[in-house]
């Protein structure tokens, strides 16, 4: 049974034991209820202690059951909590490790709550577009106050046990060692005190909320949520539910909470957030990788190149406690790189997110050098040099000479052929792509590129390392641009064709930003550097002279307008100001080019702009799935949610297409193909997309 039962010295110990996170799915709830009833009925039991196995209390409800009959099937969380509250014997929640969501709500139904010193307790439902539906919005304000409830429920982040003890939510905090024994001893003391006092055991549902004037508190919370989470309905509904705890009795409040929960379950935003939750977990599973594959040991890392990308990559590993050897070719470049790394670390201290002691320890892990031979003892070596094949060749030939046997040789290339790079060594099985996104120490995405010869244990090591440096790793096969950049190229191409046909830079950026993208294609180009795309276009045209591309971005780059770093790109920039200002020069350049090209001009509405750009992503994504470059559609969504600013509330480009309907997507693409100026070959639906649309299926069936 997933809930273990034992009784000793008149205490029944119920232990949630359902690896990996002791989730409160139907089987666990049935087992827990059976354990509760057994303890209630046993005259040899005076009190119950509820705790968790596997180093944690519980990760909360099993969200795979959300929207399915099992989710509400008896005994549901409300019935579990009601049974505990009605118990004639005291029930103590002994919270160890992590306690989330439904687990926190069950603990609030217990008569007493104790926690291990390292316990982290939270209600993260808002991150799934939901609110706590097991009584959390009603009991937490009663136990710890409205302000604490608003902070925990709207933030969705777990808090330390000490914080909740101070707020009165927890009755005691014990040392981690011997925690369960301490909780059982606490239960025995409760029994003694209860017998002596002859009073009923305390219930959170009976506590009163004391607020002189709650209106300003809730008004401020609503204004703050509207500013931070404008596109998400869940935060406002959370506030509504917490306010119900103040204005209604507990039973009416619980009813209101359930109504609001069900309302949110039906929203597209919650569907998108739940999709992203599962997609992130699915991304860590590698198709074709034997389960018994053991990662290689990685204790030290070397980074070749101390520029913006190399420095950011080094920071990831320093922050995770790895010793990092940073290699450059000139003293000036090395000093700049080290200075930038130290500036970030010192900035964290200034913000209060890092102690001076920890900052000093991290800085001490960095070993800057001009000596390539210093990488000899490194377990993982990451190349982060200029994106040009001859430069990569030079570096990997040196790696082959200096790296120890078994060292993993990784390239940070964003577009180049990893299989060709691997052939520059005598050990292609040790070569893998680790494509970080800039700024590398901030962006969550890590594309892990599996070469034709990459060994299984190298891939397994890369995925394990990604977790240690807190990245969301997505596996890609080898192709030009891998998943993210191959798709964004088509997105950018459509943006250029829209310029050719009469749309303005500002209109295109404005349309997709209104759709929810963090940045439009032109603001993004100015931030990344327009010269990067220029170099890629030159290479691609040399490889395929038949490629249909617009001349407009080349005209921009030929004028030296590379973006923010030059103070001019698609927009104009002022010194010390990153704000994008419409550029008269760009407007004149576009007018001159359009006149010379003879392309008929027309008004293009925002809907067409958005559909052409977003469906360009979708079609190329479907092609990547068809080719086996991407493992699953949800992986593509994770790439765009974590690396390219796609709106979370839309769930990613592939999920958005599914919500729209693949049949409608194909129909819309065919209208674009009919445009006499369109690249009709591109607007031919990918075979997979066309087949799924015809069969009425989704990408999940691919």
Q: Report the candidate in 484, 473, 25, 21 with the shortest Cα–Cα distance to residue 280.
A: 473
Q: Which residue has the tokens 């509207």?
A: 226
Task: Tell me whether strands 98-100 and 120-122 are parallel, antiparallel or unpaired.
Answer: parallel
Helix, coil or strand: residue 535: helix
Q: How distant, in Å, are the alpha carbons of 20, 67, 130, 138, 263 from that of 266?
A: 28, 9, 10, 22, 6
Contact of 77 with 134, CB cutoff 8 Å: yes
- Answer yes or no: 513 catalytic: no
Q: Which of 65, 85, 105, 608 is catalytic?
A: 105
Tell me the C-alpha distance between 183 and 111, whole Å. Answer: 13
Helices 234-247 + 215-228 axis angle, to 10 = 170
CA quadruple 30, 34, 40, 45: dihedral, nearest 10 = -120
Q: Could you say which of 65, 85, 125, 608 is catalytic?
A: 125
Element (H, E) at 13: strand 11-16
From CA 479, how far away is CA 485, in angstroms rounded?
Answer: 10
690 annotated active-site: no
Residue of 619, 680, 605, 610 lying closest to 654 (CA atoms): 619
Residue 533's nearest CA partner among 500, 510, 506, 561 is 561
Q: Residue 119 corresponds to which tokens in the numbers above?
A: 């316990």
Which among 61, 120, 62, 60 is positioned nearest to 95, based on CA atoms? 120
Which is it for strands 91-95 and 47-52: parallel, antiparallel or unpaired?
parallel
What's the rounded Cα separation, in Å, for the pair 680 and 251? Answer: 61
Closest listed residue to residue 393, CA positions, set 431, 347, 364: 431
- Give the chain's largest Cα–Cα span: 96
Which residues does the annotation mark as catalytic?
105, 125
């Amino acid at each position: 049974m997933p809930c273990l039962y034992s009784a000793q010295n008149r205490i029944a110990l119920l232990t949630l034991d359902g690896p990996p996170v002791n989730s409160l799915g139907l089987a666990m709830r049935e087992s827990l209820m059976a354990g509760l009833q057994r303890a209630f009925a046993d005259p040899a039991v005076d009190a119950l202690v509820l705790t968790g196995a596997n180093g944690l209390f519980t990760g909360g409800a099993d969200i795979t059951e959300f929207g399915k009959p099992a989710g509400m099937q008896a005994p549901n969380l409300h019935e579990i909590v009601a049974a505990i509250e009605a118990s004639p014997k005291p029930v103590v929640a002994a919270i160890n490790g992590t306690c989330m969501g439904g687990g926190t709500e069950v603990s609030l139904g217990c008569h007493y709550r104790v926690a291990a010193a390292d316990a982290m307790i939270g209600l993260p439902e808002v991150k799934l577009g939901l609110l706590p539906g097991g009584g959390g919005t009603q009991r937490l304000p009663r136990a710890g106050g409205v302000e604490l409830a608003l902070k925990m429920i709207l933030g969705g982040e777990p808090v330390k046990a000490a914080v909740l003890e101070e707020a009165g939510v927890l009755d005691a905090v014990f040392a981690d060692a011997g925690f369960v024994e301490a909780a059982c001893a606490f239960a025995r003391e409760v029994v003694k005190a209860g017998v002596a006092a002859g009073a009923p055991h305390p219930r959170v549902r009976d506590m009163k909320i004391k607020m002189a004037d709650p209106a300003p508190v809730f008004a401020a919370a609503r204004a703050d949520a509207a500013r931070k989470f404008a596109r998400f309905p869940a935060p406002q509904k959370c506030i509504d539910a917490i306010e119900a705890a103040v204005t209604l009795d507990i039973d009416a409040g619980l009813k209101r909470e359930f109504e609001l929960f069900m309302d949110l379950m039906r929203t597209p935003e919650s569907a998108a957030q739940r999709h992203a939750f599962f997609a992130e977990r699915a991304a860590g599973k590698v198709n074709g990788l034997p389960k018994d594959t053991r990662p290689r040991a990685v204790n030290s890392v070397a980074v070749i190149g101390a520029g913006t990308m190399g420095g950011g990559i080094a920071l990831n590993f320093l922050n995770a406690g790895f010793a990092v050897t940073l290699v450059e070719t000139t003293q000036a470049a090395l000093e700049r790189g080290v200075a930038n790394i130290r500036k970030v670390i010192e900035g964290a201290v200034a913000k209060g997110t890092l102690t001076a002691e920890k900052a000093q320890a991290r800085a001490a892990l960095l070993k800057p050098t001009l000596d390539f031979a210093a990488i000899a003892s490194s377990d993982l070596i990451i190349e982060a040099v200029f994106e040009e094949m001859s430069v990569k060749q030079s570096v990997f030939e040196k790696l082959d000479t200096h790296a120890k046997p078994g060292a993993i040789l990784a390239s940070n290339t964003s577009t180049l052929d990893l299989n060709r790079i691997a052939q520059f060594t005598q050990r292609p099985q040790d070569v893998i792509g680790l494509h970080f996104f800039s700024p590398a120490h901030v962006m969550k995405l890590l594309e892990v590129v599996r070469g034709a010869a990459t060994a299984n244990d190298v891939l397994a090591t890369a995925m394990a390392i990604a977790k240690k440096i807190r990245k969301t790793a997505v596996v890609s096969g080898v192709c030009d641009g891998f998943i993210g950049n191959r798709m964004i190229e088509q997105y950018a191409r459509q943006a250029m064709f829209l310029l050719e046909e009469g749309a303005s830079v500002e209109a295109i950026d404005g349309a997709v930003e209104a759709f929810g993208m963090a940045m439009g294609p032109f603001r993004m180009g100015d931030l990344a550097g327009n010269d990067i795309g220029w170099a890629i276009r030159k290479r691609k045209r040399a490889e395929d002279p038949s490629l249909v591309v617009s001349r407009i971005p080349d005209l921009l780059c030929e004028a030296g307008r590379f973006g923010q770093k030059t103070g001019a790109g698609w927009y104009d920039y002022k010194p010390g100001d990153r704000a994008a200002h419409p550029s008269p020069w760009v407007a004149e350049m576009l007018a001159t080019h359009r006149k010379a090209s003879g392309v008929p001009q027309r008004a293009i509405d925002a809907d067409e702009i958005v559909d052409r750009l977003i469906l360009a992503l979708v079609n190329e994504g479907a092609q990547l799935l068809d080719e086996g470059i991407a493992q699953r559609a949800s992986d593509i969504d994770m790439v765009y949610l974590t690396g390219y600013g796609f709106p979370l509330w839309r769930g990613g480009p592939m999920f958005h297409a599914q919500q729209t309907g693949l049949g409608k997507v194909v129909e819309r693409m065919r209208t674009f193909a009919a445009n006499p100026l369109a690249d009709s070959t591109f607007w031919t639906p990918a075979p997979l997309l066309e087949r799924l649309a015809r069969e009425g299926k989704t990408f999940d069936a691919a």
